[in-house]
Structure 1
């Protein structure tokens, strides 16, 4: 008897351990899952020579890219912060809720002056005949907010000097209660104050429309400047949205039959499905099995 009781206890413990493992592996619906990822980057660089930098960040529906190269001197201060927060609440006996919040923040103060630069390497050939870097200044920055359908772009090419202060802030928030609310907002801002010496400057802004996205944009800005300029820009786009839409229950005709099904769903079912919902197909089946004169079929619910 003691051996049987001990065996049952071991089986119960094993069963509880297996259930816990299954929950960990996600084999059953979970109640709350949360992810919060943050990244912070700070940089301060001064020097002369040849330089090339590439920075890319993605958080939720946001993306940022910055690219710089040239030869000469550079004095650069750069700070970037990103955050991606995802929270899913999926209880078994209630509506599911998803919440996503993301942010990208960038601040930069950059001074570059072009000049050729010679670089000797080792003690051999390149020590006697050094490498020569002769590259005009190029800088490219863009921010994209896919939640809002927003893109902002700034680029400087072939410049002899750049003195720039840049601030970027992009945020997006998404809330989805599965029945019946969709709600969110996409916010994008780019602020620039710069002096460009003998170069080409480009600014671009694109805001997607609701009907044909980027093919027929709601806002489109395309600017190019060649020469020496002092430029100040402050561009902000805020795109909120909300949709409350009660979804139809699966097989919505159960209470009212074919006549109560919305016309849009009837097209999906097809005309041949009418007999399933008004029960006429069961009457035809009964007539085929028992004959049209049989008034006492074996299953009363078919009558």
Structure 2
């Protein structure tokens, strides 16, 4: 395996006309850039491995109790109701607990996901639809097969001591706490022993929300973890509630977007997560990406996910 390239070079290549960067590479590049803004000290290389995994939001959402007015449709006529980011995310957590069906995959199995991605050039043009199917090894001990925007590739097994953050190995996911406060601190501390006595600082939140939202992009999680992640987002400052947001199926919902401090990579906001305005069930994500000088509006949602015994097996 070749030596990792400079993370700022990876960030510059993010908008190039090349296959999308892996999520750990994006997270490391953004982390190092953000830290460079805070201190002139050179950081030691991160220990997570660059490895294609199931697609996760890189600059995801965060939440605080900021109220806006969102259009909510009823059977007779539209009406407006005040709603906060905290209300949406706690509602999403409650809906997740109601619908959750716990699973316990074996280490030798795979997590299958089918993701639908629609892209339209921001200045107008033909819409393209991608159906990305991926099979990720549960414990990283087998080759995975992943697809992103139609680009398919085999992923090598984890080497000793290598992994991703947030973790993708099921045994590591099971070790994450389902207490929202502890989950935030555990993700902040990036795999080290969590220091629950150390309060969150303003400088901790931008990357922490990246890790929490990245965790939420996993299609299958241990019991209680997704609900805890929604509630963890409700503690993160920097949220914007957006009305009249649509998912890839054209359904109108409530959007939640993280907006970071000015001058950071998140200063203009990250992807928008779209939730059903009545049940607060997660519907999908609206984002933008740039490649080859063209900016695309992008809508994604998970159409199916399951645990299977082998690559290319579908539920």
TM-score under structure 2 length normalisation? 0.18
Q: For the pair shown, which has the larger CA radius of gyration, 1 or 2? A: 1
